[in-house]
A and B are shown apart, each in its own frame.
Chain A
Amino acid sequence: MERKISSVQLALLLFLCSLASLLISNGSFSIMAAFLPAMVLVGAALVPAFLLGRKQGFLPALSSWGKGAVIPAAFLLVMVCLFMAAQELRVYGFFLTSTVYPKAQMGIFLIGTGIVCAYAAGMGLEPLARLGLWASVFAAVVFIAFILGLAPSMKNMPVFHASPEGMSVFFQRAFRVACASEEALLFLILAPRARSRRQKGGKGISLWLSLAVIAAILTGLLSEIALGAYRETRRFPLHTAAAAAHFSPQGRMDLLFLFLYTGAVFIKISLWLYGGCFVLRYLFPRMRRGILAIVCGTGAVILGFLPFTQTITNLLLSGWMLAFVFIGPLVPLLFFRKGASQ
């Protein structure tokens, strides 16, 4: 039996997943500020699913109530996990080949990272959770170093403007951010692995959401204050800001950024692969986790090479992810009622 993790460890893992997206985001301070209402919305969306699966987890809840719906739902979930892992591999490869190794083949990074992450997923959630704690501490140190390094050049005070059209557009943006919160689905998959004490579970969610909001606002602020108008011309503004920062004796800080981003991406891909293994193991309980990790890792790397992966993940992130979180828990209820009436 695999050891469970605490809900704080789960929260830190999910925070690192959010961080992996935030570090390469090119949103301005105003856009990042939309994370506050967005994360409130995600929190609200998670409540019914959290209550439903609090004791036994989301999948077992589906299984006990959903009857026949669980197998296609689980396969769908595995595919979502693999597509998300594949997309993250692609993004990481794209980042490395456009900023650090312009002459390298992206495939090297897809395969290399895929192997390492599959191995980590095969090891289980608990080692990842222990790594997550240190990675979170490292993230905090890096952010402090960024602030110190960028302090001398902080002269472009950001002006908060929701949007020229008004607050409605701001909230629409917040809704879009919430819809693209892939970590919400990851939470549902991983929640059964966390020790299920009621209060701590709630604390875990709020810790993750709070850290994500702080990191989002900080990344928007740092890139905007340090780069000003130049930020708009950059694909990865925070990486550019790190390259512009000078924190003696280290000098340029893009290397620190690279370490942090690599760590966060490693955890994120590993978690998606672990999620895939977890759901597959539910379907095939006799299969060994190592074999399932190889299957998931291979699947993610193959999908990473396919051009339509991006389209599918964009579709998922455009709203289906949150819809899944919202509607998912209601589906078994419908089945349950149907069964009861029959």
Chain B
Amino acid sequence: MKKILCLLLCLILLLFTGCLDSVPLGKRAVVRTVGLDYENGEYTAALQLYGQSDSPGGPEIITAKGDTLAGLFSNAAIQQGKQLFLGNLRLILFGASLSAEGIEDVLGFLNEYHQISPATQTAVVLGKAGELMKPEEDKSLPGELLDTLSNAQQGGRAPLCRLMDLIPEQADHAAPVLALAEGPAAIAAGSVIFSEGKVESYLDPEATRGLCWLQGEIGGAVLETKSPVSAAVTRKVSHKISPEAAACFIQLYVSSSLWEGPQDTGLYPAIAREQERMIQQEIEAFLDRTLRQGLDPFDWGSRMGQANLAEAQYQLSVQCQIEEQGAAS
């Protein structure tokens, strides 16, 4: 009798699937990418949805407007006739005008939205985010923007920037820039430095890779030296800040494997020196656009004490070593 009662109780549990109303998957709009723009006091968003494509050409993209972000998402849900689900959101794009205006309020909303992961990647778009996600009729949709970004990050062409990295109260932070290239492709077109929620500086691809070298997150950059030799490069970076001397000593160790060009090991030292010069040039370009302008993407200012970041000395030492031949794994 007791067992039957237990079984009945267990069966009753099937009726209690949750504290809230259930939402069938077909009634949910699962958002993958959000592109936000701000114009004439109004937010515009393009939302790319998962696996709900009506057109054979690509994923379904809906657009919505609103005076506030809460209103915007509400309008999008009404317009779509589905509940928006942002738990699988992977990428947030900020349009150029919004980035220039300031994203502090937007970040406040996104950070408080319980479904959005703080590890969601972010990027700034040259132009309108909506146009990058949904170009005009004659152009094809760009490929997976997230793949574009992750490939660019791997090669040092874009810094990693998650939602939680962009805290207005904290140090400046770099975010990658995406742009629509000729043809059906989005490209990583450098990066920007956010300061107090606003874009303060644009870094070209060269300076962006200088930033990525210092971040130590390059997994396989291609160095096209004059020889001509291409090499995939990994890294190890360390830095020491000396407040007394108002100086920062940066050391970078790079190891590479040759992909193309002469296989003569006697040429390795010369190729390595050329690589060192190239990396040094990229880092110098980054320092000129940021730290020497007083921008502080690594929060070094707090460790520099009274010394001024812009007037500090940056002593750079780059050592390259070619380790093996053939394509890098």
B114 contacts A102, CB within 8 Å?
A: yes
Question: Which residues of chain A are within 8 angstroms of B162 by Cβ–Cβ distance?
Answer: 244
Complex Cα distance, B18 from A108, in Å, reads 11
**Majority DSSP secondary structure for residues of A touching B:** helix
Question: Which residues of chain A are within 8 angstroms of B119 by Cβ–Cβ distance?
Answer: 153, 243-246
Q: Mark out the residues of chain B between 123 and 178 whose CB falls within 8 Å of any chain A CB in the assembled complex.
A: 162, 164-165, 167, 169-171
A103 contacts B87, CB within 8 Å?
A: no
Please tell me if A4 contacts chain B, counting CB pairs below 8 Å.
no
Taking each of B20, B164, B170, B171, which has the highest tally of chain A beta carbons within 10 Å of its own beta carbon? B164
Per a CB cutoff under 8 Å, which of A101, A104, A233, A243 touches B167? A233
Question: Which residues of chain B are within 8 angstroms of A229 by Cβ–Cβ distance?
Answer: 167, 169-171, 299
What's the least CB distance linking A152 to chain B, in Å?
10
Given contacts A153-B119, A233-B167, contact A252 B19 (CB under 8 A): no
B114 contacts A104, CB within 8 Å?
A: no
Complex Cα distance, B114 from A280, in Å, reads 42
Per a CB cutoff under 8 Å, which of B19, B111, B165 touches A104? B19
Please tell me if A75 contacts chain B, counting CB pairs below 8 Å.
no
Per a CB cutoff under 8 Å, which of A98, A230, A252 touches B165? A230
Please tell me if B117 contacts chain A, counting CB pairs below 8 Å.
yes
Given contacts A101-B19, A101-B20, A104-B20, contact A252 B117 (CB under 8 A): yes
Beta-carbon nearest neighbor of B120 in chain A: A244
User: How many chain B residues touch A (Cβ–Cβ < 8 Å)?
Assistant: 16
Per a CB cutoff under 8 Å, which of B19, B165, B170 touches A108? B19
Taking each of B87, B118, B167, B299, which has the highest tally of chain A beta carbons within 10 Å of its own beta carbon? B118
Question: Which residues of chain B are within 8 angstroms of A252 by Cβ–Cβ distance?
Answer: 87, 117
Complex Cα distance, B117 from A101, in Å, reads 15
Beta-carbon nearest neighbor of A251 in chain B: B88
Beta-carbon nearest neighbor of B118 in chain A: A244
Please tell me if A240 contacts chain B, counting CB pairs below 8 Å.
yes
Complex Cα distance, B20 from A108, in Å, reads 10
Q: Mark out the residues of chain B between 80 and 135 whose CB falls within 8 Å of any chain A CB in the assembled complex.
A: 87, 111, 114, 117-119
Complex Cα distance, B167 from A16, in Å, reads 34
B residues sitting closer than 8 Å to A (CB atoms) are 19-20, 87, 111, 114, 117-119, 162, 164-165, 167, 169-171, 299
A residues sitting closer than 8 Å to B (CB atoms) are 98-104, 108-109, 112, 153, 227-230, 233, 240, 243-246, 252
Beyond A103-B20, A233-B111, 8 additional contacts (C-beta under 8 Å) are A98-B114, A99-B114, A102-B114, A153-B119, A227-B164, A233-B167, A243-B119, A252-B117
